[in-house]
Amino acid sequence: MVKLASPEQAKEKKATRAAYGVTLAALAEEGMNIVAVDADLTGSTTTKKFAQARPENEDRLFNVGIAEQNMVGVAAGLSLAGNIAFTGSFAVFGTGRAYDQIRNTVCYSNLNVKIAPTHAGISVGPDGGSHQMLEDISLMRGLPNMRVLVPADYAACCAAIRLAAQTPGPVYIRMGRASVPAVYAPEVELEMGKAYVLREGTDVTLIACGVEIDQALKAADLLEKESISAEVIDAFCVKPLDAETILASLEKTGCGVVAEEHSVYGGLCSAVAEVVAENHPYPLQFVGMRDRFGKSGEFEELLHYFELDAEAIVQAVKKVRSRVED
């Protein structure tokens, strides 16, 4: 098991996007040929911190303005010149508006470009449904050559950015706006294609990614009070998915709940269902957005409103366990 945050460390909240600029700067300091291409959001995405870290980085951040499709094209060209190119925008623009360029320029040619937008999911909060991207994992997961990483907290995001830089070819990293509790200890190292058992259990498997990891751990605490032992898995690498770890857990517990801050169509829920369908039909229940857009509100309010919080996971556990008992 990877090292988790201490109770004291868990009290410190940071947004995953806060990891972006500082980690790019650290990688450049270590000698990696990092460049960042942003679409007029260098402050919000924090790529500005990459440029400000040292004078030589100033010429390695390219702000193309409000032109996300051009952003991806420029990043593709920079990668062909031997650079490790990271893009920066909000997820709704950085994946949706630029999908054609990501598909046909980056993935088709298997270029060394990292699509790393911020402000994904309902954690965008007050910006509302038009900016709350809930289909990005699905869009990126369906592309050949693309890997998909959805880190749970600041430390995991630092590890994901570093992992993306070290992995040749296209990688998608999903980052959020809201500050979230620490799950992992600082300096944690994560691997491509690996899922991590954060808490062992015997009665049900909770498989989650991103901000839902914190909710899954809270749900496990609530379930423990009802004498239900929940195993919690962080499927931070949605593609390639660690089928071995997930199936081993489901074989032990007999049923599972999959939770993601994303549509239940095409993301982690679909990925786990595909693995289960091809191997062994364990009962599953999904916690996620069901064929709807988001709306304006504070992050915690929206988690409850859209039934993505710990209590929603608890109810899903009871439902899936009732199917097993029947």
Token pair recorded at residue 246: 């997930």
Token pair recorded at residue 2: 């990877």
User: Other C-beta atoms within 10 Å of 143: how many?
Assistant: 19
User: Other C-beta atoms within 10 Å of 90: how many?
Assistant: 26
What is the Cα–Cα distance from 197 to 150, expressed in whole angstroms? 16
What is the Cα–Cα distance from 258 to 269, expressed in whole angstroms? 6
Tokens 């409000």 correspond to what residue? 66
What is the Cα–Cα distance from 303 to 299, expressed in whole angstroms? 6
Q: In degrees, to the nearest 5, what angle opens at C-alpha 243 toward C-alphas 239 and 248?
A: 150
What is the Cα–Cα distance from 48 to 260, expressed in whole angstroms? 29
Q: How far apart are the first and last CA of the chain?
A: 34
The burial class, CB within 10 Å (0-12 / 13-18 / 19+), for 291 is: exposed
- Among the options 8, 56, 68, 135, which is catalytic? 68
68: annotated active-site residue: yes
Catalytic positions, written as ranges:
68
